[in-house]
Structure 1
Amino acid sequence: MANHYEALGLGHRQFDGSLTAQDIKQAYRRALLEHHPDKAQTGGASQTVDSITVAYKTLSDPDTKVDYDREIRLQQARNKGDDKIFHTGLDIVDLDDLDYDDETGEWWRGCRCGQDRGFVITEDELEKESRYGELITGCKGCSLWLKVLFGIEEDEEEDFKTAAE
């Protein structure tokens, strides 16, 4: 079963932070035309109009998209048998255990694979996951994953709400 990104033909941009609402809308329209039962050239459309519509509704709403992306990351972290993605481990740490780079404004940690900054977390990523208090990120050099637990102090929470408005 295809995920929502694949249903819209955006599988290659699944965790692309630059994916805009306009990109999603254009992909939705293309997918509808490509897979419409009356227009399909083959014996049957590989995607249904309903599955394309559900994918668009999920990805076009910022809140449901964040929830969906989080669920995909969690699912990938648990996935041990997929030939395409094999995650050999998931370490759990607190945000305070990571180093902070004042110049880039990023938290980072080296990985067991030898990658100096294998795990890098930005303020934007923390904001997106703020309601959960945890973030899952993959190493840039191997298949290891890191679950970072963090809390938001009331002052920071107000800053996030003000920034969102």
Structure 2
Amino acid sequence: MSPIPSFLSPQGPLEPPQPTYYDILGISPAAITTHSKGPNQSPPDQNQDKTHAFIKRAYRRSLLSHHPDKLKLSKSSIPPHHTSPSPAPATKPDTITAYTIDQISTAYAVLSSPSQRAEYDKSLRLQRQQQQTSSGNGLTNTAQLFQTGIENVDLDDLDVEESSQGEQQWYRSCRCGNPRGYLFGEADLEEASDLGELMVGCADCSLWLRVHFAVVDDDDDDDDNDDINTEPIAGDHQRARDNV
């Protein structure tokens, strides 16, 4: 009989906790809440601008901190003190958690959107509840690994329908079993139009879907409205984000 995998065994080693988007940007929910409360009853729009600016600064700081060249410099800046090893008490080595550009960009895309940030906070609460429930049967790690996946799709890969308000809305089934777990509308696309991608959380679990779409500027109109292009972006999942 094959041995039980360690991640399924209550006595097996636990996987390290997955970093949250707050961890990746080096901020906390409390810090965002503080910046969202402007002084002297500031207008909501002004408070939202301050919150977005705060998250954007954290995004830039994280990009600089985790740039590959800077990480290499940090590791090579510690000169050796001895040419040969000498006995010394065992100490825990300093570790540098390196996040990828994709991780940092995803964290910024979610946390900079008030609606997506609210959904993400909800998914974190749900994840903690599921981990507490599953901790008694040794399936905490399995549940955690299942909840951290992000799937990349193009907008035209999703099913589309007209809502009761007459607007288009897109949906897709989730691996958790909900046939309409991922659901969003035109307003959500408009909110994420500056990024060209929308992070959508499942309504029933903590899985996420990254939807890629194109925004076409309408030069014929005098207003600032942009049209959402529902055509797929072939091979454009890796787009430059350093222009912020």
- Aligned pairs for 1:80-159 (under 5 A) are 84=128, 87-104=147-164, 105-155=168-218
Q: Can you give the 5+ residue segments of structure 2 that lack an aligned partner in the other structure?
A: 1-27, 57-107, 130-143, 227-244
* 1:62 CA displacement: 8.2
Q: Structure 1 residues 124, 57: closer, same or farther in 2, change over 3 A?
A: closer
**Deviation string, structure 1 residues 36-92 (Cα, Å, up to 9, x no partner):** xxxxxxxxxxxxxxxxx9xx9974328937x76735269x69xx9xx7385321000
Matching residue of 2:109: 70
Amino acid of the residue matched to residue 32 of structure 2?
H
Give the 3-state SS of the residue equivalent to 2:204 in structure 1: coil
Q: Structure 1 residues 112, 152: closer, same or farther in 2, change over 3 A?
A: same
* 1:140 CA displacement: 0.2
Matching residue of 1:3: 31
Q: Structure 1 residues 93, 162: closer, same or farther in 2, change over 3 A?
A: closer
Q: How does the TM-score come out when normalised to structure 2? A: 0.37
Q: Structure 1 residues 120, 158: closer, same or farther in 2, change over 3 A?
A: farther
Give the 3-state SS of the residue equivalent to 2:214 in structure 1: coil
CA distance in 1, matches of 2:148, 2:225: 39
Amino acid of the residue matched to residue 204 of structure 2?
G
Q: How does the TM-score come out when normalised to structure 1? A: 0.53
Q: CA RMSD in A?
A: 4.2
Q: Structure 1 residues 57, 152: closer, same or farther in 2, change over 3 A?
A: closer
